[in-house]
Structure 1
């Protein structure tokens, strides 16, 4: 069987370095400060084999909902703590799907308007965390 691994997940961006810095905060990936003025900025995963995230400068604006988005599962802490941290980092809440019983997720937007979801952590879902 032939497997084609995902090498990069690519975002169009007005300010690639600023958006890469935001997503480095979200994911724990590393951003190279020497790429600050580049038209393409790559953030690298901490584990080998995971796809990198690439930000490419474009002039056009985002105008419609993303057809593909990332679902973020907190590695540490809770969904709500992660939402609060990402709000401080520059994200906004787009749609709140949390329930009174503690289930659900939060759809957020990064500083350039790209949607992503923050789910409950493995621990909140009763799954092993290691």
Structure 2
């Protein structure tokens, strides 16, 4: 037996705003039958509105206090460095730069509520295309 991942859930202070940020990061969309709204306690985005996706839930004490124990590793369709610049431009913040002189490595960023995520090299940069 196995279990499928239906969604990855983020506890947060502003579920709607965070869903908009991650929509820009991933290109995921809301469920057209259940659109996200600022007053919703839960906001979902997924690939073509489907699963598995990301669920953002307002919680009473949604402020992040410690390092994430689970995080997303993003593989861009552009270069790693181009994606880092794009994400910084839409509101991400730099947490740690682990790029190496030989082109390997990754960059750790945080979303507007402080959730860390990493940007790895693209498949092309790793010679996988």
Same fold (TM > 0.5): yes
Check whether the contact 1:16–1:56 (CA below 8 A) recurs between aligned residues: yes
Match of 2:65 in 1: 63
User: CA–CA distance in 1 between the matches of 2:12 and 2:44?
Assistant: 12
Match of 2:113 in 1: 112
SS state at 1:31 partner: coil
Match of 2:79 in 1: 78
Check whether the contact 2:29–2:49 (CA below 8 A) recurs between aligned residues: no
SS state at 2:22 partner: helix
SS state at 1:46 partner: helix
Q: Which moved more, 1:58-67 or 1:115-124?
A: 58-67
CA shift for structure 1 position 109: 0.3
Match of 2:126 in 1: 125
Check whether the contact 1:21–1:31 (CA below 8 A) recurs between aligned residues: no
> Paired residues, what number?
125
Unpaired segments of 5 or more residues in structure 2? none
TM-score, normalized by length of structure 1?
A: 0.90
User: CA–CA distance in 2 between the matches of 1:81 and 1:64?
Assistant: 28
CA shift for structure 1 position 5: 0.2
CA shift for structure 1 position 28: 1.0
CA shift for structure 1 position 34: 4.3
CA shift for structure 1 position 40: 0.3
Over 6 Å off, 4+ runs: none
User: CA–CA distance in 1 between the matches of 2:36 and 2:73?
Assistant: 28
TM-score, normalized by length of structure 2?
A: 0.91
Aligned in 2, Cα 1:106/1:17: closer, same or farther, shift over 3 Å?
same
CA shift for structure 1 position 36: 2.5
- Over the aligned positions, Cα root-mean-square deviation in angstroms equals 1.5
